[in-house]
Amino acid sequence: MSSSSVVSLIKVKQNPKRKKNTKNALPSPIQNFPRKFHLFYQSPTLKNLPNAKFHQITLNNQTPKSLSLHKSQMSGPSLMDSLFQRTLEDLIKGLRQQLIGEQAFISKALEEIRKEIKSTDLSTKSTALLKLCYLSNLHFHDMSFAAFHALEVLSSPRFSHKKIAYHAISLSFHDSTPVLLLITNHLRKDLTSTNEFEVSLSLQCLSRIANVDLARDLTPEVFTLLSSNKLYVRKRAVAVVLRVFEKYPDSVRVCFKRLVENLENYDPQILSAVVGVFSELACKDPRSYLPLAPEFYKILVDSKSNWISIKVLKIFAKLAPLEPRLANRVVEPICDLMRKTGAKSLLFECVRTVVTSFSEYESAVRLAVEKIREFLVDEDPNLKYLGLHALSIVASKHLWVVSENKEVLIKSLSDPDPNIKIESLRLVMAMVSEHNVAEISKVLVNYALKSDPLFCNEILGSILSTCSRNVYEIIVDFDWYVSLLGEMSRIPHCQMGEEIENQFIDIGLRVKDVRPELVRVARDLLIDPALLGNSFLHRVLSAAAWVSGEYVEFSRNPLEFMEALLQPRTSLLPPSIMAIYIQSAFKVLVFCLHTCFVRGGSTAGVSASASYESFDDLSVENGADSTVAHGQTCTSAPITNESIVNLLKLVELALSPLLGSHDVEVQERARNLLGFVDLIKLEALNSSGQEENDSERKGVEATKIIRLVHDAFSKELGPVSLTAQGKVPVPDGLTLNENLGDLETICGDIELPSSNTFSFGYPSEEKDVSSFSNLQIKEDSGQLNESTSLLAEHRKRHGLYYLPSGKSEVISNDYPPANDPALQGDNNDNASDLVKLTAESLVPKRKPNHSKPRPVVVKLDEVDEKPVAVKQLESRDDSLSGAVRDILFGSEDILPTSSRSNLPNSNRKGKKKQHMITQVESKENVVDDGNSSSRRRKDHSHGKERRHRKKNAEERNETDRKEKESSSNHPRRHKSRQRAEEPLKVPPQTSVIPDFLL
């Protein structure tokens, strides 16, 4: 301990609120520095101060200003003691008084600090630094400006100053601090100091701020300290090694052996530090540490400290899956520990280790599950939470455990702790299968009704995601599921509108059988005017509206839909959804008209065939014949001419105000529909009011229009397979550009609007394109869908990437040929329909279509970029683990596997020998300042030399020396960089486990 740091103490007047401080025998750290007082005015409290101390009063250069400051701010009677130069304590007290507001006070204080810190007197400087630390730590004030001053204080010979400087440095320095390089020598000096506290401070600091350069330059010092005979220093050196390894992997070659030696230390302090380091290292790359398993095993069996046991268990959790023999050996001690220990933390670690890494060992798992159950039923919410957590780990492999504890789980759903609720919800969802999905969902929906909004949505979200997993894998009864969706959307707190919307549409597209039920659910949602007021439901309503328009033929009463879609309260909807409402109303209207005039009027057989095949017939334009065979002809309210007239009136009434809408989409749709109504109205009114043959003549025209529009709307939509593109035969004469790299840049500048007013993805868009283009032809309205025009523009610019124009005409007007197989798969209206759907692994409909190149490009990006990122990560990790492997496996990794198994003891012996060798080496290394790392590097890049060494390990030192000579010519840094770029040799992975385990 530096005796120079003894400071004469002055008892500062204690804060009256703190009686404790006075009784406290230990002086406060602040009192180490109150050697300076600015001014001194008479104060009763200070009269008691011994006169001998008065000589210490010095006037600071900033006195006048701070004097006025003191006077003005601190005139309160309780602040009479603020006569000293402001120490940290004064600062804190001032902050607590809050006479002028915190911000103002702090900025004044900072101003002072900025001045004080420039002082040449180290005591003033360090006090200022200490104050700055306080403000930075608790009040988020930048202290980077003081970086250099901290270094200056660091050079002080006094320990108390040094302490402050190290404190400041570890709080504020980071990799990009400019003066970081200047600290190297200070650290080196302190690391080699004889004062163990100085060493400890500098190690502590190094563990916080070490970067590549510091780690490299100070490796020799850390290496020396690793075998220091002062335990206090050694354990710190061990702990700092982790950071050094991380920053400068080559240091592994120097320090690793000594680190391993510390594993054999029996001192619990050292052991706990070493085990901590290894558990961190093993997390990153467990395989490299397999050879150390015997040491860890010994620690596990012998350890008396729970903390160490926990860390060793963590290591084994990582190692065991890699080596079954090791797992065999370790599982018993772990179970023993689990039975015997009284510490819950250790018990839990055992349980977690068993369920993560020993899940094949039936008896161990049973024991662990027993313990988990104890946790689950415990009163303590912490244990309960951890029990659930452990259960969720087991769930992936042993689902039976979860169902065994079903009651507890269901009960936990109403726990006061949201974390426990969510954890148990996850577990309940893990139990869901196609057999119990209905019951579980029912229970959960009931819980959702009762619980708070947050958890309610958590429940709904997990039901939705579980049920839709793998294209609704677990759903058998879709009618049930669709009505569940309807039920969920009516739950008051439901905010999952978007997801429900997606699923409504997705199911509508994918599952034909469910459409009648879907329409029924949609109707229930649409006709309830109360729902329109809930903004969370708007997305669901938009799906319902879309469903009602798309599948109106299943409706019992389309007129009801019309009324629902055009009800006055729809004005509450956002414009984008309003547009969908209008579009759907259009579809429903066309359907009604079609039923009334075309089907009702024509004497052609209205075959009430329920076959869905007919939809496809519809998609082919088959002219006058029109076997408009709708599945559901059972419209309960027959559509008469009169009701049509009413309907048209209703449309006009509801939509005419929208012609002035500010939203283009709404306006346009309304105009479309009204235009259509105008067209039809004439005919319809005439036909109802005039003579038969007159109406027949006019009716023909109207019928024609209706039929055309109806045909346009009744084209089937289906999901598109991801592999659809592959099914398109490449036409003759089309040469595909081999290098499509430039495609990305071409497509990059065409940003198709991602948030279309059609929220339901691509296929429907396609449909609208076609319907609109039909309309355009028929009605000459000249309206172009946005995406069509964009597509056309794109096509014009990059015609190269398009199919020949004749073909593409087909694509834009008709359904893409690629979909045909999928559609046909859809058409079988039996139970195998869904099975086929899943078997074909149809992707969600949002997936790209070949006629729209941009999404495809995005997909390519994903494929390309991911592996690259992973690779980079690996290579960084590898530099550390590669070094570790080189050390641990040493020359052994070139022995053939068979020969090693013949040498039962060579492993350990060889290791011992290597220990000695490295020690010798490292001693040299201390002298020549870390050159050995580059030397060892050299070893490994020369296979020849390595083989040589294998033959005769005794000659090794000599060779090393030779190599050192040869390598010392090269600049060290350059080499280390070279090394980092070299691909790492991964030693053979098999049979690295020492033979004692066999």
* Binding string, residues 831-870; x marks residues near another protein by CB under 8 A: ----------------------------------------
> Of the ranges 85-93, 365-373, 468-476, 703-711, which one interacts with another protein (CB under 8 A)?
85-93
Measured CA to CA, the distance from residue 128 to residue 517 in angstroms comes to: 76
Q: Among the residues of 16-99, which ranges form H helices?
A: 20-23, 63-73, 88-97
User: C-beta of 262: minimal distance to another protein in Å?
Assistant: 12
For residue 43, CA distances in Å to 57, 90, 167, 970 come to 15, 16, 34, 70
Instruction: Look at the block and give the residue holding tokens 């690295």.
Output: 992
Measured CA to CA, the distance from residue 5 to residue 35 in angstroms comes to: 13
Q: Which of 807, 868, 821 is nearest to 719 (CA)?
A: 821
Q: Which of 385, 472, 478, 554 binds another protein (CB under 8 A)?
A: 385
Site for another protein in 176-205 (CB under 8 A): 197, 200, 203-204
Which backbone phi and psi does 84 adopt, to 5 degrees? -70, 160
Residue 971's CB is within 10 A of a number of other CB atoms, namely 10
* Binding string, residues 400-439; x marks residues near another protein by CB under 8 A: ----------------xxxxx-------------------
277 contributes a contact to another protein by CB under 8 A: yes
Q: Based on CB atoms, which residue is closest to another protein, 17 or 569?
A: 17
455 contributes a contact to another protein by CB under 8 A: no
Residue 297's CB is within 10 A of a number of other CB atoms, namely 20
Q: Based on CB atoms, which residue is closest to another protein, 242 or 834?
A: 242
Structure tokens at 964: 């050192």
- Looking at the chain, how many residues does it have? 998
User: C-beta of 14: minimal distance to another protein in Å?
Assistant: 10
User: C-beta of 868: minimal distance to another protein in Å?
Assistant: 22
Measured CA to CA, the distance from residue 826 to residue 619 in angstroms comes to: 15
Q: Based on CB atoms, which residue is closest to another protein, 56 or 978?
A: 56
User: C-beta of 29: minimal distance to another protein in Å?
Assistant: 5
Q: Count of H helices and E strands in the chain?
A: 50, 0
382 contributes a contact to another protein by CB under 8 A: yes
User: C-beta of 213: minimal distance to another protein in Å?
Assistant: 16
Measured CA to CA, the distance from residue 373 to residue 851 in angstroms comes to: 56
Site for another protein in 200-239 (CB under 8 A): 200, 203-204, 207-208, 232, 235-236, 238-239
Calculated CA dihedral for residues 31, 35, 40, 45, nearest 10 degrees: 30
First to last CA, the chain: 52
Q: Which of 27, 461, 855, 910 binds another protein (CB under 8 A)?
A: 27
Q: Based on CB atoms, which residue is closest to another protein, 415 or 829?
A: 415
Q: Based on CB atoms, which residue is closest to another protein, 352 or 599?
A: 352
Site for another protein in 352-371 (CB under 8 A): 352
Q: Which of 231, 209, 207, 7 is nearest to 222 (CA)?
A: 207
Measured CA to CA, the distance from residue 403 to residue 55 in angstroms comes to: 80
Site for another protein in 89-128 (CB under 8 A): 89, 92
Site for another protein in 615-654 (CB under 8 A): none
Site for another protein in 232-271 (CB under 8 A): 232, 235-236, 238-240, 242-243, 269
User: C-beta of 274: minimal distance to another protein in Å?
Assistant: 10
User: C-beta of 354: minimal distance to another protein in Å?
Assistant: 14
Q: Based on CB atoms, which residue is closest to another protein, 209 or 720?
A: 209
Site for another protein in 132-151 (CB under 8 A): 133-134, 136-138, 140-142
User: C-beta of 813: minimal distance to another protein in Å?
Assistant: 51
CB 73 within 8 A of CB 99: yes
Q: Based on CB atoms, which residue is closest to another protein, 401 or 420?
A: 420
Residue 530's CB is within 10 A of a number of other CB atoms, namely 9
Q: Based on CB atoms, which residue is closest to another protein, 379 or 751?
A: 379
162 contributes a contact to another protein by CB under 8 A: no
Site for another protein in 295-334 (CB under 8 A): 305-307, 310, 314
Amino acid identity at 672: N
> Of the ranges 86-94, 502-510, 590-598, 768-776, which one interacts with another protein (CB under 8 A)?
86-94
Among positive and negative, which fits the CA dihedral 81, 87, 91, 93?
negative
Q: Based on CB atoms, which residue is closest to another protein, 244 or 543?
A: 244
CB 33 within 8 A of CB 87: yes
> Of the ranges 49-57, 384-392, 835-843, 961-969, which one interacts with another protein (CB under 8 A)?
384-392
1 contributes a contact to another protein by CB under 8 A: yes
Over the range 78-98, which residues count as b (16 or more CB within 10 Å of their CB) and which as e? Answer: ebbbbbbbbbbbbbebbbeee
Site for another protein in 658-677 (CB under 8 A): none
Q: Which of 107, 227, 345, 789 binds another protein (CB under 8 A)?
A: 345
Number of residues that bind another protein (CB under 8 A): 79
Q: Based on CB atoms, which residue is closest to another protein, 13 or 795?
A: 13
Cα 171-174-175 angle, rounded to 5 deg: 165
Measured CA to CA, the distance from residue 399 to residue 397 in angstroms comes to: 6
18 contributes a contact to another protein by CB under 8 A: yes
Q: Based on CB atoms, which residue is closest to another protein, 136 or 808?
A: 136
348 contributes a contact to another protein by CB under 8 A: yes
273 contributes a contact to another protein by CB under 8 A: yes
User: C-beta of 313: minimal distance to another protein in Å?
Assistant: 9
Residue 213's CB is within 10 A of a number of other CB atoms, namely 15
Q: Which of 824, 279, 764 is nearest to 505 (CA)?
A: 764
Q: Based on CB atoms, which residue is closest to another protein, 140 or 862?
A: 140
> Of the ranges 88-96, 476-484, 757-765, 892-900, which one interacts with another protein (CB under 8 A)?
88-96
Q: Which of 921, 942, 940 is nearest to 930 (CA)?
A: 921
Identify the three-state secondary structure at position 84: strand
CA 176 to chain centre: 27
User: C-beta of 284: minimal distance to another protein in Å?
Assistant: 11
Among positive and negative, which fits the CA dihedral 735, 740, 742, 745?
positive
30 contributes a contact to another protein by CB under 8 A: yes
> Please, which contacts does 52-58 make with residues 24 or more away whose CB atoms are closer than 8 Å?
53/8, 53/10, 56/8, 56/10
534 contributes a contact to another protein by CB under 8 A: no
Instruction: Look at the block and give the residue holding tokens 């019928």.
Output: 703
Q: Which of 457, 462, 555, 546 is nearest to 506 (CA)?
A: 546
User: C-beta of 122: minimal distance to another protein in Å?
Assistant: 14
> Of the ranges 380-388, 523-531, 683-691, 984-992, which one interacts with another protein (CB under 8 A)?
380-388
For residue 478, CA distances in Å to 171, 357, 647 come to 60, 39, 33
